[in-house]
Amino acid sequence: MYIGVIIFFLILIIFTNKKVYYPQSVLYGLTLWAAMHMIGGGIYIGGKKVYEIILLPLVGDPYSILRYDQVVHIIGFGVATLLMYYLIKPLLLQPIEKKTSLAIVVIMAGLGVGAVNEILEFIATVVVPETGVGGYINTSLDLVSDLIGAIFAYLFLTIQSNKSTQH
């Protein structure tokens, strides 16, 4: 299933790139996200899926923070937020640094992609209960991680915009 999702989005990006002209940073980010996703769902270490491994034990059970899964969400949905910005950008009349409302729209667009991901994970657990995706706490932590990634992405865009206006 992981491979199918990656292939679908790879084809979508290839066919839309000539129209959207995705920046290399977004393409590299999507590639990193895809690789992390494949590693997380396809590799087991010590009998555990990499997605389940706690990288830094910040908070214990039942929240299990900071897991590999949450890092993938932060990076992945940060990249998804950048992607949403570049889809919205042609419709904008003013630079990014002047738009608080743009921050809300771009961050919410990135979170919307995260919400669709969680819906697809829910459907996967209904169709194939052995997916091991997780329950309510996992979904909530994923959405919080998506928000962190979206905010980081917007900060990245703001810094990029400020650099380009200074030169």
Position 95 scores a pLDDT of 64
Position 73 scores a pLDDT of 95
Position 55 scores a pLDDT of 92
- 5 versus 57: the higher-pLDDT residue is 57
CA distance 102 to 97: 9
CA distance 15 to 117: 21
Position 106 scores a pLDDT of 92
Q: Encode pLDDT of 72-119 as tens digits.
A: 999 999 999 999 999 888 887 766 656 788 889 999 999 999 999 899
CA distance 37 to 5: 10
Q: Encode pLDDT of 12-52 as tens digits.
A: 999 998 888 899 999 999 999 999 998 998 899 999 999 98
CB of 65 closer than 8 Å to CB of 58:
yes
pTM (predicted TM-score): 0.85
Task: Kindly state the average pLDDT of the residues 55-83.
Answer: 90
CB of 150 closer than 8 Å to CB of 111:
yes
Task: Kindly state the average pLDDT of the residues 121-147.
Answer: 85
pLDDT above 90 (res 165): no
